[in-house]
Chains A and B, each alone.
Chain A
Amino acid sequence: MSRPSEPSSSQADPNLPAIPSDGGGAVVGGAADSPEGSAAPLRRHHTLARYVVRRLLLAVLLLFGLTLVTFSLTNLVPGDPVAAALGQRAADDPAITARFRAEYGLDKSLPQQYFAYVGRLVHGNLGVSWQTHRPVARDLAQAVPATMEIAFAAILCSTLIGLALGAWAAHRRGKLADQALRVFSLIGISVPTFWTAIVCFYLFYYRLKWAPGSGRLSPGALAPPKRTGLHTLDALLAGDFATFTDAAAHLALPVMVLTLYTVGLLTRFSRSAFLEVLEQDHVRTARAKGLPARTVFTHYTLRAAAIPILTVIGLAFGSLLSGTVLVESIFGWPGLGSYAYHAASKLDLLAVMGVGLVVGVVYLTINLIVDLLYGFIDPRVRVGS
């Protein structure tokens, strides 16, 4: 439940780095704790490569951890898996029980079971959903592009709006606009997303009839030829503007709801990031020597604030993915969220684990990209102390 508090100016807020890498070390100098960091002044041009490798290794380690988490959670289930899968009568028959256990490897030791589990995962086998009676992996493969379409659109919108509002608030610090934005962003992080979704759906679809109904496309509309899996992008690639507008119209409402959810967080963080930068000497110098405000902003402020803002975008992506789980089912959006919602309410454990794994991997990847971008943006990060 890490509502990340506004980062304090002086030290890296230990509450902030929910970056799943090495926490606070990432920004301040991830290399600090690695033994080879100090012995490398001669091979400095290799440091970026080494930074990348280290991040990748960390990501692999965390990926391993993710499987450990899902595996132990799957084994946590109270009750007899035989009874759950075959029914109580079968579970009472020792012969059937023994065969079932042998078939699913339940008679082996836990470590053996774990390696078998990872082996299955590597082959893309996430088990069969109790609910849809289809392989979880196939269900997920259909759901992921739908969710990505929402998530990318929402992160784009909320980043643009959040940055603009944050910059505005920092610029007008202490004034009315700043106060108002502070209230706005505090409300933004207090609103239950699933509630906003219902209210917006009722208002814009049922009452005002502005928004088209649920789903990704109007009933009867054909999906564009699949290339990326994102309907809007595919329609554009196919040059099919009617389908594009249809897909975009269906996308608008869920994206709006999710943007409302993340924009408060982004506004808050970018405001404090900008404030911190505005205080720095080089920005003051740039202003003092008479550079136009816009140049100062784009060339000095924005660039120096890029790292904390990148961090927040990574964080916001996480809360966005959480948000989709709560929101998609309301809009009938056939993505990971709807799938997780239906699986969770039916306690379809393998399907829920599948969603957890996929989302975990996506989140990990996003944060890996963020980490790698640090290295490119800020030379101090890759060089270390």
Chain B
Amino acid sequence: MTHDDAPRPALPTSTTTAHDDAAASALSPAHDGAPTPALRRRSPSWWRRIPPTWRAPLAIAAAILAIAWTIVAIFGPLLAPHDPLAQDLPRFLPPGSQALLGTDELGRDVFSRIIAGARVTIGLALLLVLMSMLIGSFLGVIAGFFGRWVDEVIMRLTDLVMAFPTVILAMVTAAALGASLFNAVLAALVVSWPAYARVVRSLVLQVRTSDFVASGRLLGFSPWRSMRQDILPNIAGPTLVMASLDIGTAALLLSGLSFLGLGAKPPTPEWGSMVGSAVLNFDKWWLGLFPGVAILTVVMAFNFLGDALRDQLDPGSERV
């Protein structure tokens, strides 16, 4: 704590905002004995059971946003007023009563396309994060556990991938594989596994020297059993946190590839490629604005959630 915020008196106020709670819990137990609780309005018990970081207004907003988008992704077809592929409306209709967010160059309803696109973007981002976590963790565990040349080879491989800026390498790979959504995910996978491999490797290096791992090995555990039974449970938590932090970035990368024309093929409603097609008609502002807002809100929701998650699990990173 710097002396900047140390002398803040824990003034008992009737409104218990999340920040007060956070401050209060940070200052406890010294201030807990004070007779403040009597003056506080009691918040419901379920509310107090939520950790302070999740009671911050931003975390709540992000959670609502993320849940809303997830619902849209799951129930998309039921919510869309039009068929996202039907070209039955007038072209370039500005937002209005006939089409809520206007229509595109083929007379398709932008609103319905955005709703249909939620499934594509969020689904693929989750798939990408899952796959890169699995592959990266696998290689990271092997590198950390076996060390020596295995470690050397895998780590130099991560160096190599990281020697390229991410979007560039993903673009190059996607172009080599050919344009399709699946290939875009593969290309994104190529650039995103090394981060996991490195983190997992360093986690394994920390765990590997513990006594319980050594005793397991002395009991005659095979390397695989030791990894599965002793090491994996101890690194799973941080790895999952890292993965959840990554969802927003994954969505951003995938929509960027689609924007470049390396992801979704034309009729597929995908936000990045919708923005991409707006480049040709940039005076029709609604074509690019709304799909972009969709990307922004999804990425933002996941980034804010990830941030809150990190605060909760690793308060040290904030407190320094």
A residues touching B (Cβ–Cβ < 8 Å)?
1-3, 5-6, 8-10, 14-15, 18-24, 62, 65-66, 68-70, 73-74, 76-78, 172-175, 183, 186-187, 189-196, 198-199, 201-202, 206, 272, 275-276, 278-279, 318-319, 321-323, 325-326, 329-330, 340-341, 343-345, 347, 349, 352-353, 355-356, 359-360, 363-364, 367
Selected from A345, A349, A359, the residue in CB contact (under 8 A) with B164 is A359
Tell whether, in the assembled complex, residue B169 and residue A356 are in contact, meaning their CB atoms are under 8 Å apart. yes
Is the C-beta of B262 less than 8 angstroms from some C-beta in chain A? yes
Chain A min CB distance to B308 (Å) = 10
Contacts of A278 in B (CB 8 A): 2
Map CB proximity to A onto B232-252 as digits: 1 under 8 Å, 0 otherwise: 000000000010011011101
Give Cα distance in the complex from A56 to B206, angstroms.
Answer: 31
A2 near B58 (CB under 8 angstroms)? no
User: Does chain A have a CB within 8 A of B80?
Assistant: no
Among the listed B155, B198, B275, B291, which residue makes an inter-chain contact with A15, where contact means beta carbons less than 8 Å apart?
A: B198
B interface with A by C-beta (< 8 Å): 2, 4-5, 58, 132, 155-156, 158-160, 162-169, 171-179, 188, 191-192, 194-195, 198-199, 201-202, 242, 245-246, 248-250, 252-253, 255-256, 259-262, 272, 275-276, 278-279, 282-283, 285, 288-289, 291-292, 295-296, 299-300, 303-304, 307, 310, 314, 316-317, 320
Q: Which residues of chain A come closer than 8 Å to B278, judged between CB atoms?
A: 198
CB neighbours of A329 from chain B (8 A) = 279
Instruction: List, in ascending order, chain B residues with CB within 8 A of A19's CB.
Output: 162
Across the interface, do B173 and A73 meet the contact criterion of CB distance under 8 Å? yes
| Contact with A199, one of B155, B188, B292 (Cβ below 8 angstroms) | B292
Q: Inside 8 A of B201's CB, which chain A residues have their CB?
A: 14
Given A9-B317, A202-B282, A195 contacting B160 (CB threshold 8 A): no
Contact of B282 among A20, A73, A201 (CB under 8 A): A201
Interface of B is mostly: helix
List, in ascending order, chain B residues with CB within 8 A of A325's CB.
Answer: 167-168, 171, 260
Q: Which of A1, A326, A353 contacts B250 (CB 8 A)?
A: A1
| Given known contacts A2-B162, A65-B160, A359 and B2 CB-to-CB distance under 8 angstroms | no
Residues of A within 8 A of B246 (CB): 1, 3
Contacts of A347 in B (CB 8 A): 175, 178-179
Cβ contacts under 8 Å, A345 to chain B:
260-262
Closest to A194 in B: B259
Known: A76-B176, A330-B279. A356 touches B259 (CB 8 A): no
A5 partner, pick from B178, B245, B282, beta carbons under 8 A: B245
Candidates A6, A10, A187, A192; contact of B255 at CB < 8 Å = A192
Closest to A348 in B: B175
Q: In the complex, which of the residues A3, A8, A195, A352 contacts B296, with contact meaning CB atoms closer than 8 Å?
A: A195
* Contact present for A2 and B166 (CB under 8 Å): yes
What B residues does A69 contact at CB under 8 A? 160, 164, 169
B2–A173 contact, CB under 8 A? yes
Within 8 Å by CB of B160, from A62, A73, A198, lies A62
Known: A1-B249, A272-B317, A352-B172. 10 other contacts (CB 8 A): A1-B188, A2-B162, A62-B160, A70-B172, A186-B300, A198-B278, A202-B288, A278-B2, A326-B259, A363-B164
Check B260 against A73 for contact (C-beta < 8 Å).
no
Closest to B26 in A: A174
Residues of B within 8 A of A196 (CB): 292
Q: Which residue from chain B places its CB closest to the CB of A7 in the assembled complex?
A: B317
Contact B165 A318 (CB under 8 A): yes
* 7 nearest A-B pairs in the assembled complex, by CB-CB distance: A195-B292, A322-B167, A20-B163, A345-B261, A356-B172, A318-B165, A14-B202
* Across-interface contacts of B303 in A (CB, < 8 A): 186, 189-190
Q: Are B300 and A190 interface neighbours, CB within 8 A? A: yes
Chain B residues, CB < 8 A from A73: 172-173, 176
Q: What distance in Å separates the Cβ of B62 from its nearest Cβ neighbour in chain A?
A: 9
Q: How far is the CB of B301 from chain A (nearest CB, A)?
A: 9
Q: Determine the distance from Cα of A195 to Cα of B5 in the docked complex, in whole angstroms.
A: 39
Which B residues lie within 8 Å of A322 (CB)? 165-168
A65 touches B195 (CB 8 A): no
Which A-chain residue is minimally distant from B5 (CB atoms)? A174
Pair B168/A353 contact, Cβ less than 8 Å? no
Which has the most chain B C-beta neighbours within 10 Å: A3, A65, A69, A347?
A: A3
Asked if residues A341 and B191 are in contact (CB atoms below 8 Å), the reply is: no
Alpha-carbon separation in the docked complex, A9 to B319 (Å) = 9
Which residues of chain A come closer than 8 Å to B253, judged between CB atoms? 1
Specify which chain A residues have a CB less than 8 angstroms from the CB of B249 in the assembled complex.
Answer: 1, 3, 189
Are A1 and B191 in touch, CB under 8 angstroms? yes
Which residues of B sit under 8 angstroms from A15, Cβ to Cβ? 195, 198-199, 242
Contact B262 A344 (CB under 8 A): yes
Task: Tell me if B155 and A202 are in contact (CB < 8 A).
Answer: no
Residue of A nearest to B245 (CB): A5
Nearest CB in chain A: distance from B181 CB, A: 15
A321 neighbours in B (Cβ, 8 Å) = 165, 168
**Once the chains are docked, how many angstroms separate the CA of A189 from the CA of B58?**
16
Kindly list chain B residues whose C-beta atoms are within 8 Å of the C-beta of A276: 320
In the complex, the answer to whether A359 meets B165 with C-beta atoms within 8 Å is yes
State in angstroms the CA–CA spacing of A2 and B151 once bound together: 20
**Residues of chain A contacted by B259 (CB below 8 angstroms):** 192, 194, 326
| Chain B residues with CB below 8 A from A18, complex form | 162, 195
- Chain B residues within 8 Å of A3, by CB: 245-246, 248-249
**Complex contact B260–A195 (CB within 8 A):** no
CB distance from A25 to the nearest CB of B (A): 10
Q: Provide the residues of chain A in CB contact with B175, threshold 8 Å.
A: 343-344, 347, 349, 352
Report the bound CA distance from A349 to B171 in whole Å: 10
A2 and chain B: residue at smallest CB distance? B195
Is A360 a contact partner of B164 (Cβ separation < 8 A)?
yes
A288–chain B nearest beta-carbon distance, Å? 11
Q: Is A344's CB under 8 angstroms from B155's CB?
A: no
**Chain B residue at minimum C-beta to C-beta distance from A18:** B162
Q: Can you list 27 contacts pairing A with B, beta carbon distance less than 8 Å?
A: A1-B246, A8-B317, A14-B199, A15-B199, A15-B242, A20-B160, A24-B198, A65-B159, A68-B160, A74-B176, A173-B4, A173-B5, A175-B4, A186-B303, A189-B303, A190-B252, A202-B285, A272-B320, A276-B320, A321-B165, A321-B168, A325-B167, A344-B171, A345-B262, A352-B171, A355-B168, A356-B171
